[in-house]
């Protein structure tokens, strides 16, 4: 919750500053956006993983005139961030036909902070099959994409390119707690897992910063 509040507080300042900087310098403030998260940020990865079943019918995507794989009838916060810094809407990583030079979105609807293996170790299952789309998985996807990004980096090399990119670590944790509550059924028991979830999010944030 604190991370979500921080994001909501910081983003308006970021977008205002980016808009002012763009007007002053006449060039984009960032070269690319790399986004991680769950349904609040997914721009199509879940639909690619799961096929046409969910989020691929009306009213989803009504503002676009067609379903886009977003869990929304229109734009998400990450879309407004991209618009605010004068970059294209961030394409889903699993759509391999996309050009990722200006960013990639690794977020997946229903994604959790903890890996699937942890839930299995705790004998926690969900009514729906658990997808392997945790924060750790999303960070591994980024590492898989990174060589191609660095190979195509312009003058200044990979370090400069990533240093001028925006990394957005979206909402994580809610789906973890829902899984524990569904399996354990007791709030007090679920609270015991809070430090584990927070540690996973903090570790993921640290990896993002190191890039």
Q: What is the pLDDT of residue 27?
A: 67
Distance of CA 13 to the CA centre of its chain: 20
Q: What is the pLDDT of residue 130?
A: 66
- Per-10-residue mean pLDDT, the chain, length 211: 39 52 61 96 92 77 88 94 95 94 96 92 72 93 93 77 93 91 77 93 90 72
- Count of domains forming the chain: 1
Q: What is the pLDDT of residue 6?
A: 38
* 93 contacts 42 by C-beta, under 8 angstroms: no
Q: What is the pLDDT of residue 14?
A: 53
* 101 contacts 152 by C-beta, under 8 angstroms: yes
Q: What is the pLDDT of residue 11?
A: 54
Encode burial over 78-116: b for 16+ CB neighbours within 10 A, e otherwise.
bbebbebbebebbbbbbbeebebebbbbbbbbbbbbbbb
Q: What is the pLDDT of residue 4?
A: 37
Q: Please, which residues bridge with residue 69 across strands?
A: none
Torsion of CA 89, 1, 139, 27, to 10 degrees: 40
Question: What is the CB neighbour count within 10 angstroms for residue 57?
Answer: 10
Q: What is the pLDDT of residue 8?
A: 43
Q: What is the pLDDT of residue 2?
A: 34
Considering only CA atoms, give the Rg of the chain. Answer: 18
In which domain, by residue range, is 119 found? 2-210
């Amino acid at each position: 919750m604190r991370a979500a509040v921080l994001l909501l507080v910081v983003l308006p300042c970021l977008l205002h500053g980016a808009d002012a900087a763009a007007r002053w310098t006449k060039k984009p403030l960032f070269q690319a956006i790399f986004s991680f998260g769950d349904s609040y940020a997914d721009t199509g990865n879940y639909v690619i993983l799961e096929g046409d079943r969910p989020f691929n019918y009306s009213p989803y995507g009504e503002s676009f005139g067609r379903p886009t794989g977003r869990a929304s009838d229109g734009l998400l916060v990450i879309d407004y961030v991209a618009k605010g810094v004068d970059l294209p809407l961030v394409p889903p990583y699993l759509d391999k036909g996309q050009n990722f030079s200006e960013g990639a979105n690794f977020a997946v609807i229903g994604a959790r902070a903890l890996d699937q293996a942890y839930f299995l170790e705790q004998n926690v299952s969900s009514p729906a099959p658990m997808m392997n789309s945790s924060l750790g998985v999303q960070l591994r996807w980024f590492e898989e994409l990174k060589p191609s990004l660095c190979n195509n980096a312009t003058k200044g090399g990979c370090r400069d390119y990533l240093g001028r990119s925006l990394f957005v670590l979206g909402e994580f944790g809610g789906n973890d707690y829902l899984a524990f509550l569904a399996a354990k059924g007791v709030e007090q028991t679920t609270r015991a897992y809070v430090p584990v979830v927070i540690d996973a999010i903090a570790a993921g944030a640290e990896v993002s910063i190191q890039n």
